[in-house]
Amino acid sequence: MLVDTDTGEVESVPNVSLASAHGAGVGSVQFLVEKGVEAVLTQNVGPNAHSALAASGIRIYVVTDGTVADAVEEFRQGLLSEHSGATVPSHQNPSRG
């Protein structure tokens, strides 16, 4: 869901990178950069996606529950804190070699 917090315009877009075996987070971040996204509101962010978002200058805010509208309103009111790290571990299997 892409939300313009200035105009209230909402666009629902599929995450085409979701099915990627590798680089799903990086592909998603590339899409967000192309769309001009400045911040992401999410429940979880992995280390690769976090690194890609941070490198792209996209701020990350973690929400706990509620609707998209709830999260956007909390963001507008300045109630969310910017997150500085991954919230979940990598999906990579460390035993592969």
Amino acid at 47: P
The domain ranges of the chain are 24-87
Average per-residue pLDDT for the chain: 83
28 or 69, greater pLDDT: 69
pTM for this prediction: 0.77
41 vs 48: CA distance, rounded Å: 16
Identify the DSSP state of 14: -
The CATH code that applies to domain 24-87 is 3.30.420.130
- What percent of the chain is predicted at pLDDT more than 70? 81
